Amino acid sequence: MPKLTTAARRVSRVTRWTLAVAGVVVVAACGSPSTTAPPSAAAAAAAARPAPASARVKHADLLNGISCTGPAACVAVGSYYYGTAKQQTLVERRDGSSWRVERSPSRQRYSTLQSVSCPSATFCVAVGSLITGWNGARWTVLRRSSPFDSVSCSAAAFCIAVGVTAADTPEYGRWNGVRWQLRRMPGPPHRAQAVALAGVSCTGPGFCLAVGDYSYGARARPAPGFRDRALAEQWNGTRWRVIAPIEVTGRSELSAVSCPTPRACTAVGATASGQFALAERWDGSAWKVEHVPGPSRTGYTKLTAVSCSSASSCMAVGSYDGGASGIAEAWQAGAWRLYRLPSPPQPEPFAPPAGVSCASPAACTEVGTDGGTLAEVWDGTRWRITPTPDPR
């Protein structure tokens, strides 16, 4: 059975909810439990294309990533459909208690932003089908196309973005304040049939950590014989090296990572084909698996994003019941504590939280979609939904 292309996996992971609204059923390309037969290459390619005009998509907005420079100063990025199936980039900014839509460039009929990093209020970089930057006044195109799913900037003159090429080759981009340089990264320790790099976090030019997963075996994902393994790679200022995470069980994946210091990185995801949430901490020399309380023993819990405001405080968000409900996990006093996220205004269909950013232990914002854009704010005690505007 042929494998999914990298582009098809990326679109399936980020926009499968949107395509479902348009009447297109997409089987997730990564390890979720299902008895549905895996899609063919033709079906995957069809899923990767925007829905036809006949689908009459009238309202499908997604926020995929967020970066906050203060308790109430955040930038969120994603995409939206309008009219027919034309998909455009979306940027929303929170300043105080309200959000506003900002004009952002789109270079193709299908344009989307997956991740954003803002080291200051006057500089941001967002990556997806293109790379765009904020200079304090407007968003401009920095690169017309990209393979990147995640970006982390420690300063206006240093950013690292990671992703995978169409040939399933891990790749990173380095921003020096003037231009992007794209280079290959080391591959997984096994001969992989599919690779994904989903998250990256940099503390400075001398340290970054990227995470994801890879698959190898006799048949292509998501066939039963295919095996998923978590993947992590460390940047030391000169080169990347693979630092294998701990495999709790088979079919593990890491979705995001946050590093407040090079000796305190937290990576989150899922194990056992998405049945249990996974959190691992890197102390600069070794990984340690942390206990994550779940809402139920068989709730198919997955953590999709994490943000650490310090070495002792992190917030992770995700879902359970196969993505039907949202959860948050707070790391405080050396342990994880479970919180339920409020039900969105349009609970069906629901997509797992896509991104989270914390300016402090008592100030986190998570974003996603419930049909329109969705944002929820943590005040140190509870989560609450905060209204976001329609992009049109």
3-class SS letters over the chain? CCCCCHHHHHHHHHHHHHHHHCCCCCCCCCCCCCCCCCCCHHHHHHHHCCCCHHHCCCCEEEEEEEEEEECCEEEEEEEEEECCCEEEEEEEEEECCEEEEECCCCCCCECCEEEEEEEECCEEEEEECCEEEECCCCEEEEECCCCEEEEEEEECCEEEEEEECCCCCEEEEEECCCCEEEEECCCCCCCCCEEEEEEEEEEECCEEEEEEEEEEECCCCCCCCEEEEEEEEEECCCCEEECCCCCCCCCCEEEEEEEEECCEEEEEEEECCCCEEEEEEECCCCEEEECCCCCCCCCCCEEEEEEEEECCEEEEEEEECCCCEEEEEEEECCEEEEEECCCCCCCCCCCCCCEEEEEECCEEEEEEECCCEEEEEECCCCEEEECCCCCC
pLDDT tier at 38 (50, 70, 90 boundaries)?
very low
> Poorest-confidence range of 185-199, 252-266, 301-315, 324-338?
185-199
pLDDT at residue 1 above 70? no
Mean pLDDT of 64-68: 98
Q: 54 in helix, strand or coil?
A: helix
pLDDT on residue 17: 39
Q: Which residue has the higher pLDDT, 205 or 107?
A: 205
pLDDT on residue 250: 67
Angle, CA 31 vertex, CA 282 and CA 116 arms, to 5°:
55
Q: Which residue has the higher pLDDT, 13 or 227?
A: 227
pLDDT on residue 196: 92
Mean pLDDT of 302-312: 96
pLDDT tier at 14 (50, 70, 90 boundaries)?
very low
pLDDT at residue 254 above 50? yes
pLDDT tier at 217 (50, 70, 90 boundaries)?
low
> Poorest-confidence range of 49-58, 202-211, 261-270?
49-58
- Percent of the chain's residues with pLDDT above 70: 77
Q: Which residue has the higher pLDDT, 184 or 168?
A: 184
Mean pLDDT of 75-85: 84
Give residue-wise pLDDT tens across range 23-36: 332 222 232 333 33
Mean pLDDT of 155-177: 95
pLDDT at residue 348 above 70? no
pLDDT on residue 343: 81
Mean of all residue pLDDT scores within the chain: 82
What separation in angstroms does the CA of 263 have from each of 137, 244, 284, 356, 360? 35, 16, 4, 21, 19
